Amino acid sequence: MSKPPIYMTIDKSDIQKIKRTLKGIKEAIPKVTQLAVNRTLSGVRTDTTNEVAKVVALKKKTIRATITVKKLGRNNATAYVRCRGSRVPLMAFGARELKSGKGVSVKVLKEEGRKIVKHAFIAKMSSGHEGVFWRKYEGPRKKWNKKFPYSKIPKQYRLPIVELFSFAIPDVMGNEPTMAEIMRLAGIRLKKEVDRALNYELSKLKSSTLILTEPALLMKTEPLGL
């Protein structure tokens, strides 16, 4: 699963501003644009990780692993940040098996407490994979017998197990409040990086530091068209 990428879009008026500033050194224009956009993209990945981490109780490393960046290059005229990923296993949300045998507790959302998933249990597969599971059964359940735990039942008589998952990280990123904040921060970053890239090129010519007072550069989201 993935959400439409965040494309970096520099407004035409800002392109003209870059051209005016670098008049006489036209070869520097694509360098400035590429440097500014690519640095911004790296920052957007960080901002996206932080914003998603404010909503869900996941490690930032797990969130960051779902976010990829495609930067501008000589043979690449498109730049974007994209979040891809399947539903996250419940095990990743600090799963704890209850001693009473009544299920597993997990903390999924930062603003909420731990929730109990009844009849679930934690198991480790022969492959080494550990997860939160429950058994396929839709009929009435009997009271748990402490004297005869389910683990003592011969395997051939046990019901098949299914691993439990929560939402996908791209769905969290795509929520309107989260996406709006990511876009706001991206716009600020893009303006700063254009200023920095321009100043860097001008410093090579031993020019004075350029101070820009133009409005923040525009950003927008567009579908990739897959």
For range 87-110, the mean pLDDT? 91
Give 22-71 pLDDT, tens digit per residue: 766 767 778 888 888 899 999 999 999 999 999 999 999 999 999 999 88
pLDDT of amino acid 147: 64
Domain-wise residue ranges, the chain: 6-86+171-221, 89-163
Q: How confident is the model at residue 221 (pLDDT cuts 50, 70, 90)?
A: very low
Q: Is the pLDDT of residue 149 over 90?
A: no
| Mean pLDDT to the nearest integer, 128-156 | 69
Measured in whole angstroms, the distance separating CA 4 from the mean position of its chain's CA atoms is 12
- Give the CB-side neighbour count of residue 117, counting CA atoms within 13 A: 23
Q: Which residues contact 129 (CB under 8 A, 6 or more apart)?
A: none
Distance CA 95, CA 166 (A): 12
- Give the phi and the psi of residue 173 in degrees, each rounded to 5: -60, -35
Banded pLDDT at 220 (limits 50, 70, 90) = very low
Rounded to the nearest 10 degrees, how much is the dihedral formed by the CA atoms of 169, 172, 174, 175? 170
